[in-house]
Amino acid sequence: MRLSQDALSTVRTARLVLADGTVFEGQGFGATGEAVGEVCFNTAMTGYQEILTDPSYAAQIVTFTFPHIGNVGANDDDCENSTDASATAARGAIVRADLTTASNHRSRGDLGPWMARRGIIGIAGVDTRALTARIRENGMPHGVIAHHTSGLFDIEALIAKAKGFSGLEGRDLAKAMTDGRNYANEAGDWDGESGFLPGKAGGPHVVVIDYGVKKNILRRLVSVGFRVSVVPPTASAETIMALSPDGVLLSNGPGDPAATGEYAAPVIRTLIDAKIPTFGICLGHQLLALAIGGRTVKMPQGHHGANHPVRDHRTGKVEIVSMNHGFAVDPASLPDRVEATYTSLFDGSNAGIRLKDAPALSVQHHPEASPGPQDSFGLFDEFVAMVRANKKAA
């Protein structure tokens, strides 16, 4: 049957189908097709482009609780994936209102076409408050986001596809988010006028183990004075040591830390035993905990947003931070050699550790922000100070 133009304009061209059979109808945007993943929600009011390109969102479909998405458009500079291999991070985007027309001096186009080029499927017109409440009460469901311009969907097949999704537990996704190469990063912070500022020569050398690193982590390291080399997640301790690092950063990334830890934890243990200053962020925090004998657990709804309060145990101060994780470190599993440094004030989960017998620290949140507040920028200064002190003592 051929639909008239008027009829086509009223067709609902997208569906979000959950594994329990719940169906949300809406208007599609971005890429066409179908994608399956874990459905989460993010409470950030800004940074939708950074969120969709954050490799930590691999195999996830992101519900945006902020209703106005698309207003600053899209550009190449705000993508957080560091390699072409991680071009597709989040599999889909769920929003309440139709995309806003881009209106920003840095925009190079509207969000919808940008998403289409990157293979990210979107659905608008969903009651995101109801979906968010559902996730808070019942955990992150498996679902399929589908966009077909015909408006025709095989709902039973989509339900079966959602039910067949294996989930994130037990899955190592870090390897899929990198392209396996070694490279140097020389770009620092964005200054608004000249673009990304170059780093200074002669600084200490940090090796970043790339489990799905965000670009802004690399830029922050450059901005505090590091020379930055990046290695793939499977790099051996011998390969890393051969680069003569003054420090090592364990990056963020997607998937189950216990699965990635099977090959990452032994490498990290070797680096810690060698007293190389080590800093872990997000997945890197979880991997550091696993390397010293701790364990990680799957969270019901995770932490995804740019407004999360954490308390610094050392100062008593509260910082508002950016978080993006679905697994957490079990504090009861940590050995005596560990000092807890941060705690989430939302649910009391561990948000940071420091080793008492080695120069190593890590945080669950994202001190580089992007998007998010800059309360924790000082952690990069703390890391570079640790590196310099270790070099002086050597």
Residues with a catalytic annotation lie at 282, 366, 368
- Please report which helix (H) or strand (E) contains residue 163, including its range: helix 155-163
Distance of CA 288 to the CA centre of its chain: 17
Nearest to 93 by CA among 125, 133, 71: 125
Residues in the chain: 394
Q: Per the omega criterion (within 30 degrees of 0), is the bond before 371 cis?
A: yes
The Cα–Cα gap between 107 and 142 comes to 33
Answer yes or no: are the C-beta atoms of 274 and 331 closer than 8 Å: no
The Cα–Cα gap between 167 and 324 comes to 17
> Residue 201 corresponds to which tokens in the numbers above?
């020569």
Query: What is the signed CA dihedral for 325, 240, 357, 290, rounded to 10 degrees?
Result: 30
Nearest to 136 by CA among 22, 21, 299, 257: 299
- What are phi and psi for residue 219, nearest 5 degrees? -65, -40
Which residues lie across from 62 on neighbouring strands? Answer: 40, 93
